Structure 1
Amino acid sequence: MALAAHHFPAADSALAPVLLLHGFASSADEDFLTTGWVESLAAAGRPTIAIDLPGHGDSPAVASAGEATTSAVIAAILAAVEAVSPATPGDSDAVGAAPIDVIGYSLGARLAWELPAASPRVRRLVLGGISPAEPFAAIDPADLAATLAGRAPAHPLTGMMARMIQAPGRDTASLARVIAGLAAEPFAPGAGGPAVPTLLVAGLEDALTTSVEELAAALPAVHLERVPGDHRAALDGPEFRAAAIGFLAD
Structure 2
Amino acid sequence: MTVFAMAPDGVRIALHELGDPDGEPVLMIHGFSSNTQRNWIDAHWSDSLAEAGLRGIGMDLRGHGDSDHPARGYEVDHFVDDVDAVLEQLALPDPPGAIGYSMGARLLWRHAGTRPAAFRALVLGGLPAGDPFQQFDVALAHRALEGEAEAGPMEAFIVELAGTFPEHDPATLITLAGEVSKTLFDPEDSPPDLPTLLMTGEKDRRASDTETLLPLLPDARFEPIHGRNHVNAPTSGHFRRTASAFLAEHLRSPA
In which range does the TM-score fall when normalised by the shorter chain? 0.7 to 0.9
1:173 alignment partner in structure 2: 171
Counterparts of 2:192 and 2:170 in 1: how far apart (Å)? 32
Question: Equivalent of 1:49, from 42, 57, 72?
Answer: 57
Correspondent of 1:126 among 123, 126, 150: 123
Q: Report the Cα distance in structure 2 between the residues aligned to 1:5 and 1:181, rounded to whole angstroms.
A: 23
CA contact (8 A) 2:198 2:223 kept: yes
Aligned residues: 236
Opposite residue 16 of structure 2, the aligned amino acid is: H
**Which is worse superposed, 163-172 or 102-111?**
163-172
The answer to whether the 8 A contact 1:62-1:178 is kept is no
TM-score, scaled relative to structure 1: 0.88
User: Between the two proteins, what is the percent identity of the paired residues?
Assistant: 33
The answer as to whether partners of 2:142 and 2:171 remain within 8 angstroms in 1 is no
Residues 1:4 and 2:9 aligned together: no
Distance (whole Å) between structure 2 residues aligned to residue 249 and residue 5 of structure 1: 21
Output the CA distance in 2 between the equivalents of 1:12 and 1:75.
27
| Residue aligned with 2:87, SS | helix
Task: Report the CA distance shift for 1:200/1:11 in structure 2 as closer, same or farther (over 3 A).
Answer: closer
Is contact 1:192–1:218 with CA below 8 Å preserved after alignment?
no
Q: Which range is displaced more, 143-152 or 217-226?
A: 143-152
Partner residue, 1:238:
237
Amino acid at match of 1:237: S
Using structure 2 for the length normalisation, give the TM-score. Answer: 0.86
1:238–1:10 CA distance, 2 compared to 1 (3 A): closer
Within 5 Å, give how 1:52-131 maps onto structure 2.
52-64=60-72, 67-83=73-89, 85-87=90-92, 98-116=94-112, 117-118=114-115, 120-131=117-128
How many angstroms does 1:152 deviate by?
3.4
Post-superposition CA distance 1:62-97 (Å, at most 9, x none): 221xx21111111112212321x2045xxxxxxxxx
Partner of residue 92, structure 1 = none
Whether the 8 Å CA contact 1:28–1:50 is kept in 2: the answer is: yes
- How far did 1:235 drift? 1.6
Cα deviation for residue 9 of structure 1 reads: 7.4
1:196-211 alignment runs, 5 A limit:
196-211=194-209
Matched ranges for 1:15-26 at <5 A: 15=24, 17-26=25-34
CA distance in 1, matches of 2:75, 2:187: 16
Alignment root-mean-square deviation, CA: 1.7
Give, as a single letter, the amino acid of the residue that structure 1 aligns with 2:28.
L
Q: How far apart are residue 179 of structure 1 and its match?
A: 0.6
Q: Which has the higher helix share?
A: 1
Q: Distance in 2 between matches of 1:122 and 1:175?
A: 28
Q: Give the secondary structure class of the aligned counterpart of 1:144.
A: helix
CA drift of 1:112 comes to: 1.1
Amino acid of the residue matched to residue 189 of structure 1?
A: P
Gap runs ≥5 in structure 1: 89-97
Measure, in 1, the Cα distance between the counterparts of 2:140 and 2:225: 35
Instruction: Name 2:5's counterpart in structure 1.
Output: none
Are the equivalent residues in 2 in contact too, given 1:2–1:80 (CA < 8 A)?
A: no
Aligned in 2, Cα 1:207/1:11: closer, same or farther, shift over 3 Å?
closer
Q: Is the 2:17–2:58 contact (alpha carbons within 8 Å) kept by the matching residues of 1?
A: yes
- The offset of 1:175, in angstroms, is 0.7
Is the Cα–Cα contact under 8 Å of residues 69 and 172 in structure 2 kept in the other structure? yes
